[in-house]
Structure formats: C-alpha cells, structure tokens
Amino acid sequence: MAAPARPWQATVLTLYPEMFPGPLGAAIAGRALAEGRWACRTVNIRDHATDRHRSVDDTPAGGGPGMVLRADVVAAALDAAADDTPVLALTPRGAPLDQPRVRALAAGPGVTLLCGRFEGFDERLFARRAIEEVSIGDYILSGGEVAAMVLLDACVRLLPGVMGAAQSGDDESFESGLLEHPHYTRPALWEGLEIPEVLRSGDHAKIAAWRLERSRADTRLRRPDLWQRHPDAADRSPSGARYQKKEE
Ligand code: SAM
C-alpha cells in the first residue's frame, strides 16, 4: 500500500527529545516511520523557557518535595507546536488509555503529546488549554516519555498499510471487548502437552467456535471487569458457571 499524502503526525513535547523515536524507530513502527506512514516531531519544552537559566520548573506552591512544570513555559511550547491534532497529556490521573480511544486517535490526523516530569504540570495549564489527560496504568513512571511511546505504538500499528492483512488486528485482545483466545504452534507435542485437538481438525467453523468460547471463558476468569461490560455476559453473577475455564 502506498504511503499516504500526509503522514499521521505525532508531535511530542518533552524535556528529553533525544528519547524519540527510540524504540519506535525499530520493527513495525520503525518501518512505518521510514515509509512515511507517520511522522515524529519533537519539541523541546526547554526551548520555550524565558529566563537565562532556561528554567522549566519551580518549587511547589504550598511547599512539599519535588518540582512542578511551569504552566507559562509549557503553554508557550504547546502554542508554538499547535497543529490540527488533539493534545493529550500523559498523567497518572488521566483517563485510562484503552483500545477504543487508540482506534479513534489512529483514525484522526495524529496527536500532540505532552510528557510530564518531576511532580507533573502546574494545574492552571489544564484550565487554560484544551488538553485531554490519559494514563497508561495505575503505577508511576519517572516521566511521560515512555507512556507517550506506548500510546504512539498502539496507534501506529493501526494506521493503514502498517500491518499486513494477516495481522489486521481485528481479532486482538480488547478489539471485541474480549481477551484474545490462546495460541499454539509446532511442535504438536511439547513437554507432554498437545495442541488442542480441535485446532488440528481443519474444521474452520469448529475452530472459530472454540476460539470464541475460549475468549469468553478467559475474559470472564482473567478480567471480570471487562466481562461485566460485555454483551455476551448473560450470566453476570460472580458464581456464574457458564464460562468456567475448561481444561484442554
Ligand atoms: N506527582 C505525580 C503523581 O503522583 O501523580 C507523578 C509524577 S511522575 C513522577 C512524572 C510524570 O510521569 C508525570 O507528569 C507523567 O507525565 C508521567 N507519568 C507517570 N506515570 C504515568 C502513568 N501511569 N501514565 C501516564 N503518564 C505517567
């Protein structure tokens, strides 16, 4: 597939521009970058500092440990970088990033990502600029850059022409609200364990039914939170037996 006329544009505002594209310059994302399917631009927040020390942070009002990123400096960087892409800040308190949000972002023109450091951003930034906050999980990273890479990797693999038809991604975990079924490959017998018989049957309808059933059972057992939201969760009781995990 030919590269698009305009690549999906990632703009990353960071104190560490040298971290990009980093791991996104390799493998699937790296190939897509080289093919012009997406572009990665960094903006060094420090370039928008106004004092002679190029300060980007200051002590927290009210006292306490750490430093806080200044709203005026970050806003100046953001205003200078502005294009038609949505602005997202990586913050632990943000809305949890999920596959529907990733799909929506991948379908748009790109993203502008704000990477925090220290204790995070001066709160007034969020009052004065249209910024969506997203989190990649309930743990604390030292900075937003790795979180930005997670978000970009998830989006880039969905761009047209990035994955082959065989890896269209439609069956992956979360795409249907279910976890994906388990996978097996040769050898057929390994350490006394066989590949489930149905997968060797050649009966595509039976295989599809087995996979769907395993997706449902695994989701119910491993991620009851996802299962409770799924339309197939006819039996919503915690003790419901319909999708108990079956031994292979
Ligand atoms: N003081 C903040 C708190 O307790 O919520 C943590 C700041 S953290 C040390 C520094 C930066 O890392 C954050 O501003 C954010 O950009 C990024 N970060 C840390 N954990 C993150 C997460 N789970 N998701 C997204 N970004 C995260």
Q: pLDDT tens digits for 122-166?
A: 999 999 999 999 999 999 999 999 999 999 999 999 999 999 765
- Going by C-alpha positions, the residue among 87, 93, 74, 175 that lies closest to residue 134 is 93
CA angle 107, 139, 29 (to 5 degrees): 35
pLDDT tens digits, residue range 33-84?
Answer: 999 999 999 999 999 999 999 999 999 999 999 999 999 999 999 999 999 9
pTM of the model: 0.93
Q: In degrees rounded to 5, what are phi and psi of residue 94? A: -70, 170
**For a substitution probing ligand 1, which of 15, 16, 140 has the most ligand atoms within 8 Å of its CB?**
140
CA angle 56, 60, 66 (to 5 degrees): 75
Please tell me the distance between residue 142's alpha carbon and the centre of ligand 1 in angstroms.
7
- Domains, the chain, ordered by start: 8-156 (3.40.1280.10), 189-247 (no CATH)
CB of 140 shorter than 6 A to ligand 1: yes
CB of 106 shorter than 6 A to ligand 1: no
